Amino acid sequence: MRSIAIVCSGGDASGMNPALKRFVEYAIANACTPYFVYDGYEGLIDDRIGEAHYRDVSGILNKGGTVIGSSRSERFMLPKYRTQAALNLKKRHIHMLVVLGGDGSFRGMDTFYKEHRIACCGIPATIDNDIFGTAYTLGVDTALGMIRTAIDAIRDTAASLNRAFVIETMGRECGYLALVSALTSGAELCLVPEIPYDLQRITPRLKQQLQEGRHYFIIIISEGIAHDREAIATWLSNDVGIETRLNVLGHLQRGGNPSVYDRLMAYRFVTYAIDALLNGNNNSVVCYNDHTFSYRNVHDVATTPATVEAELLRLATPLCTLEH
């Protein structure tokens, strides 16, 4: 029987556990022996690799995070540790590897394949939705649900106490989570790296809204402008004239039971990944666009900056500038 392994790398994302369940079941259905690599690329280096069975994935579908662990590995950037990782796989006759992760994980995967010719296929799994070539990454829908719940709860307090709340979402340099959350939560303002903003030009409009009866604000900002978060809160208090609180949602966005959509996407992503490897597609990433799955070369995915889709930016621009 052929052997195939799966590893979760980088930040965790809800949907990874459903992916692991599908991986074990689909590998076995295709006469492959499935293996788990525990704790990301660190586990690949340290030989924390074990054969996976049905019992290992029983009852994990509804759990957030990943039961096999993940990591960000600086050692994997060094050739000697990648060589050790390859030896650990080859001694078990594992010549196929599925990688769940983001662009950093894919850069490592690309180098690993080129050096050691272990066939790899990447599944984009990051709540930031910031991977080039795919409109969706595993874990995004669940993260948006967690953000929605948090914003709805904060709104209760904002309305009760006549305050403004600045709520920071994750996303690194990508404003996707903030933009979608702002549009779907009824936020009064959204600030992201992709759309230039001028607080002083926004001030008169917010002050006018207060004069016309609005008594609280929900302001969504992206992690990419976190350096301005304190200045934004001060601006609201001093210039706009409303008592303001700052909420950084942080890692709660990564947790939570995987949504139905993320469970379905996990099932589909893994199916396409294993099919790619079994059909000789040895160094690719599964991408999803326009309701269709395809494969892209991992080097292109890992080295090309991602951008937020133009339509979303167009829809959100008035919310980010308060200009119509």
User: Is residue 128 annotated as a catalytic residue, yes or no?
Assistant: yes
Query: CA separation (Å) from 231 to 117, 198, 238?
Result: 50, 12, 10
In angstroms, rounded to a whole number, what is the distance separating the alpha carbons of residues 319 and 324? 9
Element (H, E) at 217: strand 217-222
Contacts from 50-55 at CB under 8 Å and sequence distance 24+? 52/20, 52/23, 52/24, 53/24, 54/24, 54/25, 54/28
SS (H, E, C) 137-157: CECHHHHHHHHHHHHHHHHHH
Q: Are strands 189-191 and 164-169 parallel, antiparallel or unpaired?
A: unpaired
Residue with tokens 């993940």: 70
Residue 20 has, within 13 A of its CA and on its CB side, a CA count of 33
In angstroms, rounded to a whole number, what is the distance separating the alpha carbons of residues 164 and 207? 12
In angstroms, rounded to a whole number, what is the distance separating the alpha carbons of residues 110 and 264? 27
Smallest CA-to-CA distance from 76 within 88, 67, 85, 63 is with: 85
Smallest CA-to-CA distance from 275 within 26, 7, 22 is with: 26
Q: Which one of the listed residues 12, 39, 128, 262 is annotated catalytic?
A: 128
What amino acid positions are annotated as catalytic residues? 128
